[in-house]
Amino acid sequence: MINKTTITLLLVMLQLSVYAQQTYRLDLKKSKILWKAKTMGSHYGYILFKEGSLTYSPDDLPKEGTFSINMNSMNSTDQASANDNQRVNKELRSADFFNVPKYPLSTMVVKQMVRIGNSTHFKITGALTIKEMTNTIVFTANIMKKEDSLNITAELKIDRIKWNINHQADKPWNFFSTVKDKITSDEIQISLDLVLNK
């Protein structure tokens, strides 16, 4: 026979399960980072993720998340031939820029997500770590929630100098490297297109 205390306990557990924090996992096949950098002309391409997740609070609002970026997946797509794109990839992955052999992963830890009015736009505050250097970034993202999935899009810019993404980092001064660095814009344009599922 079920007594009143047992019924109350079951109701409380049911309510907690309904309003429990939800976790969404990044769909690695459908999610990517698009990048664009200006030098003598422009280079652009994409980077893929290794993993990622985002949690929703019991009141159904995005709360925090962690994303791991596979720097070995960085690819240029602006050149006419595959060989030329590979040449750009080699340079981007070198010690002159992202030094991927030494730093194969970058991370983004989402610290805060604040809804802007009643819209689907959120102010995102996070810690971006590249080459083991961490800086705070703030940007606006559009989060569309549909049944058991999320689609997140955003446009932002990062200053490469804050992460020592430059020709002169960690090596003696060199005239040609200095000139090459000067003609490269400090801003890297980033477009996020993410899909997450429960």
Work out the percent of the chain whose per-residue pLDDT is above 70.
Answer: 79
Work out the percent of the chain whose per-residue pLDDT is above 90.
Answer: 67
DSSP percent split of the chain into helix, strand, coil, nearest 5: 20, 50, 30
Q: What local confidence, expressed as pLDDT, does residue 77 receive?
A: 95
- Among residues 153, 149, 141, 146, the alpha carbon closest in space to that of 196 is found at 149
Distance CA 132, CA 128 (A): 10
Distance CA 110, CA 124 (A): 7
Residue 186 — pLDDT band, cuts 50, 70, 90?
Answer: confident
- Domains of the chain: which residue ranges? 20-197
Tokens standing for residue 166: 């430059």
Please give the full DSSP string across 123-191, using - where no structure is assigned: EEEEEEEETTEEEEEEEEEEEEEETTEEEEEEEEEEEGGGGT-STTTTS---HHHHHHHHTS-SEEEEE
Distance CA 144, CA 122 (A): 11
pLDDT in tens, 149-177: 999 999 999 999 999 887 554 554 443 44
Of residues 1 and 125, which shows the higher confidence score? Answer: 125
Distance CA 96, CA 189 (A): 19
State the distance between the two ends of the chain, measured CA to CA, in whole angstroms: 37
pLDDT in tens, 75-124: 999 999 999 999 989 988 998 889 999 999 999 999 999 999 999 999 99
Q: What local confidence, expressed as pLDDT, does residue 95 receive?
A: 86
Class (C level, CATH) for 20-197? mainly beta
Q: What is the pTM of this model?
A: 0.81
Give the 3-state secondary structure of residue 160.
helix
pLDDT in tens, 29-52: 999 999 998 765 678 999 999 999
Q: What local confidence, expressed as pLDDT, does residue 21 receive?
A: 84
Spatial CB neighbours of 14, under 8 Å, sequence gap ≥ 6: none
Cα dist from 29 to 53, 127, 166, 194, 195, whole Å: 14, 24, 30, 10, 9
